[in-house]
Amino acid sequence: MAISAIKGMNDILPGDVETWQFLEQKVREVFGAYGFNEIRTPIVEKTELFCRSIGEATDIVEKEMYTFADKSEKNSLTMRPEGTAPVMRSFIQNRLHTLDPVNKLYYMGPMFRYERPQKGRYRQFHQIGAEVLGVENPMIDAQLLAMLHHYFCEIGIDSVQLQVNSLGCPECRPAYRQTLISYLESRIDTLCGDCQRRYQTNPLRVLDCKVPGCKEATREAPSVLDHLCGGCEEHFAAVKKHLSGLEIPFVINARMVRGLDYYVRTTFELVTDQLGSQNAVAAGGRYDGLVESLDGPALPGIGFAIGVERLVLMKGEAKVPAKRPDIFFATMGDEATEKAFVLMSQLQRAGISAEMDYQGKSLKSQMRRANKLAARYSLVLGEQELESGEVELKDMDQSSQQKVALVGLVSLMGQLCSSA
């Protein structure tokens, strides 16, 4: 029986990968303009990193992590379920704060969670993320959201809505947390099993539960925005003011919470109606105590992550087409094939995409392949063309042709491709 891919872990094939490359290239262009630098971390980290950062009472740690003992059976390792914690570990370990008081970092790569695969949600999935460390000023919250908005404009996706909220801070959230627990206790019988189990340890997650009974039970739950301390109220007001000043549209969603314990103050999501129940395509927030909790310096931070598979789904019919050859050589005879092979190599080294037939097929079959590949130009090279030193170069898009010399073909193709 043929071996298939693991459920929820998908191949990215030619024809689709071009869209991924486009999305990644736009990250480098847009994020670079805002002063961000790329960081790459291992896909496997010590399990303790995620337990301490994400929180042991979260669904990710309790249910979804791929965790295993290494061969020594002394170390517990986990395939990274999210990108922020590994970046924080690298930031602390490599003392990046000593190089610059403000660090703007971005990453791209696969993450792993064991959950039921569904549209836009897989066991191996990919994220694009950005983190800013060292700035408490709410201007950076607005700038990060402006960059996120800019990126979505650049990739041609406008069917999203920015929702923002504040989750308070260690000063004001404990009192709100207790108020929320008391509210949930009065409705405990109407909550689902998961929420009954976690309402004491992670009550904010109950507000985000998608079970209809829990949504109804929490419909009149106390709002975190009514329990913010003066500092958090001032910070959130400034974020909203700066977003308005940058003309970034947003709505306030007081019920929005994040599934990770480290978030404080500003939180946000970009949501869409194109992906069913999995409506968040990007999300993040502020995590001012995270670096310190991992034994690093007491520095504020804020970041976000984008689900790449969801971006690809949203691109839909607007996905980026596969790159087509600039020129296709159709040959007749061994000598012509050898000559075409040399010319093709010279073109490729000059940065011009070129293809040819390798199997001695008929001229008709070769031209059929040129059409299938959507080659920009084609030429037929046989004994007569070798003797004369000239070939007919056909423009496949315009259905026109011109006679050109084999000598100087590389230079001519460079000119034609640069002007196209």
Evaluate whether 142 touches 116 at the Cβ level (below 8 Å): no
pLDDT at 40: 97
Q: In whole angstroms, give the CA distance from residue 288 to residue 301.
A: 5
Q: In whole angstroms, give the CA distance from residue 286 to residue 132.
A: 9
Please tell me the class of the 327-419 domain.
alpha beta
DSSP 77: E
Evaluate whether 184 touches 232 at the Cβ level (below 8 Å): no
Q: Which fold has domain 17-172+228-318?
A: BirA Bifunctional Protein; domain 2 (3.30.930)
| pLDDT mean values, one per 10 residues, the chain (420 residues) | 92 92 96 97 94 76 86 92 95 95 97 85 94 97 97 92 93 90 88 85 82 86 92 96 96 81 90 76 94 94 95 84 91 94 95 92 95 94 93 93 92 85
The residue type at 15 = G
Q: In whole angstroms, give the CA distance from residue 224 to residue 206.
A: 13
Evaluate whether 77 touches 128 at the Cβ level (below 8 Å): no
DSSP H or E segment with residue 364: helix 363-372
DSSP H or E segment with residue 354: strand 354-356
Please tell me the number of Cα atoms within 13 Å of 18 on its side-chain side: 10
pLDDT at 276: 65
pLDDT at 372: 93
Domain ranges of the chain: 17-172+228-318, 327-419
pLDDT at 420: 61
Q: Which two tokens stand for residue 343?
A: 């010319």
* pLDDT tens digits for range 87-108: 999 999 999 999 999 999 999 9
pLDDT at 275: 72
- Which residue spans within 134-263 are E strands per DSSP? 161-166, 251-252
pLDDT at 211: 86
